[in-house]
Amino acid sequence: SFTPRVFSGIQPSGDLHLGNYLGAMKRFVDMQETGIETVYCMVDMHAITVWQDPEKLRHATRELCAGFIAAGIDPAKSILFNQSQVPEHAQLAWIFNCVARMGWMQRMTQWKDKAGKNAQNASLGLFAYPALMAADILVYHATHVPVGEDQKQHLELTRDIATKFNHDYGADFFPITEPVIEGAATRVMSFRDGSKKMSKSDPSDASRINMTDDSDTIAKKIRKAKTDPEGLPSEAEGLEGRPEARNLVNIYAALADTSVDAVLKDVGGKQFSEFKPILSELAVEKLAPISGEMARLMQDTSEIDKILDHGAERARAIASPILKKTYEIVGM
Ligand code: ADP
Ligand code: NA
């Protein structure tokens, strides 16, 4: 009985890369084009669960917004905004802090990974992060959330919070949100080590293509990407046990909006020395306009700020009545 609505967020925590583009933004654009209502958020309140330099955070938030728009998010079609500008997220998060149990939070693998052995020194916010994420989603009554593998457990917790709230207050109020899981094909791996995700936290800049890289840098990074001595197989099975080779073919398929099998039909039998320039050409064709548009938007940030203000207004128009009703249900 809930109107379909998609929510997703990305932290403004620094350099955007090809993994963020193919694994998140490009999927968000595809969902926007289906006509379902799409709500996309820069989650700066999540970013500060670990200390951020204020100027860098401000810059990263605008750059993330520029990235969304350059990747094809249309602020007239999708609601695009910054989390801290919509106070309903924090307000609902407090209620969810009172619904969620300590034990649930302690079981989160990301908490265990991030806090590590020094949990006593982690921020309370880092511990409570999944309750804020639940509020991000449920303050819009979002029915679907595109998530990566690493966020699956947090979405499970969001469903637990919704279920417990509905049960505790005898109200069928929050939807039980469905994950839209990214396929293996949209997981982009490091150019240096095919067993690791492409990530901004990798110290090697050669391990990833940044969304702000120019054409020469993109071509150079692909030329230097690790492969194995074999050529390209003519079928997907031939990529098994060859993570670096598979990664480059996956990237080609994702950028070309086609399947791995279709790519191998064309390039099977070639050496990587022949395939890499073909991949480079496609990557530059798809990504150079994005980095160009990001640079243009970042020159005068008043356009971005206007888009974010407008997005926050639209977000509040949905979130505010849902929060109001939540308060009523709780007795506040
Ligand atoms: P990072 O891993 O660089 O820290 P984030 O964790 O901020 O990036 O991820 C932001 C979004 O981008 C998430 O939706 C995440 O699933 C997606 N994402 C990040 N890295 C990759 C990758 N290598 N392949 C596919 N998707 C990715
Ligand atoms: Na992550």
CA 314 to chain centre: 21
Please give the Cα distance from 275 to 244 (Å, whole number).
13
Average pLDDT over residues 221-240: 96
Dihedral angle sign, alpha carbons of residues 241, 243, 248, 252: positive
The predicted structure's pLDDT at residue 147: 86
Buried b (16+ CB within 10 A) or exposed e, 267-281: bbeeebeebbeebbe
- Asked whether residue 199 is marked as a ligand-binding residue, the answer is yes
Neighbours of 57 (CB within 10 A): 18
Cα 225 to middle of ligand 2, angstroms: 22
Buried b (16+ CB within 10 A) or exposed e, 198-209: beeebeeeebbb
- 44-48, 122-126, 180-184, 259-263: range with lowest mean pLDDT: 180-184
CATH of domain 205-296: 1.10.240.10
26 is catalytic: no
Cα 150 to middle of ligand 2, angstroms: 6
The predicted structure's pLDDT at residue 165: 98
For the CA atoms of 12, 40, 68, 42, the dihedral, rounded to the nearest 10 degrees, stands at -10
- 201 in ligand 1 pocket by Cβ < 6 Å? yes
pLDDT > 90: what percent of the chain?
A: 93
For the CA atoms of 172, 177, 178, 180, the dihedral, rounded to the nearest 10 degrees, stands at 160
77 is catalytic: no
Q: Where are the domains of the chain?
A: 5-176+300-330, 205-296
- For domain 5-176+300-330, the CATH class is alpha beta
Average pLDDT over residues 118-144: 96
The region, left, alpha or beta by phi > 0 then psi within -120 to 50, assigned to residue 197 is beta
- Asked whether residue 249 is marked as a ligand-binding residue, the answer is no
The predicted structure's pLDDT at residue 185: 63
The predicted structure's pLDDT at residue 117: 84
Residue that has been written with the tokens 């509020």 in this structure: 135
The predicted structure's pLDDT at residue 15: 87
Please give the Cα distance from 198 to 226 (Å, whole number).
13
Given a contact cutoff of 8 angstroms between Cβ atoms, the answer to whether 275 and 232 are in contact is yes
The predicted structure's pLDDT at residue 182: 74
Average pLDDT over residues 270-282: 97
The predicted structure's pLDDT at residue 184: 64
- 80 in ligand 1 pocket by Cβ < 6 Å? no
Q: Taking all residues of the chain, what is their mean pLDDT, rounded to a whole number?
A: 96
- Asked whether residue 136 is marked as a ligand-binding residue, the answer is yes
The predicted structure's pLDDT at residue 60: 97
Evaluate if residue 110 carries a pLDDT over 70.
yes
Evaluate if residue 1 carries a pLDDT over 90.
no
| pLDDT tens, position by position, 38-50 | 999 999 999 999 9
Among protein residues, the one whose CA lies closest to atom 1 of ligand 1: 199
The predicted structure's pLDDT at residue 170: 96
| pLDDT tens, position by position, 16-70 | 999 999 999 999 999 999 999 999 999 999 999 999 999 999 999 999 999 999 9
- 179 in ligand 1 pocket by Cβ < 6 Å? no
Q: Which atom of ligand 1 is nearest to the CA of 186?
A: 25
The complex's ipTM works out to 0.94
The predicted structure's pLDDT at residue 267: 96
Average pLDDT over residues 63-88: 98
Please give the Cα distance from 104 to 97 (Å, whole number).
11
Q: Which atom of ligand 1 is nearest to the CA of 8?
A: 14
Please give the Cα distance from 317 to 323 (Å, whole number).
11
At 210 the three-state DSSP class reads strand
Given a contact cutoff of 8 angstroms between Cβ atoms, the answer to whether 40 and 70 are in contact is no
Q: Which atom of ligand 1 is nearest to the CA of 15?
A: 3
CA of 11, nearest ligand number: 1
Residues 6+ apart with CB under 8 A from 141: 2, 3, 5, 174, 175, 318, 322
Given a contact cutoff of 8 angstroms between Cβ atoms, the answer to whether 93 and 165 are in contact is no
The predicted structure's pLDDT at residue 139: 98
Half-sphere exposure of 66 (CA within 13 A, CB side): 26
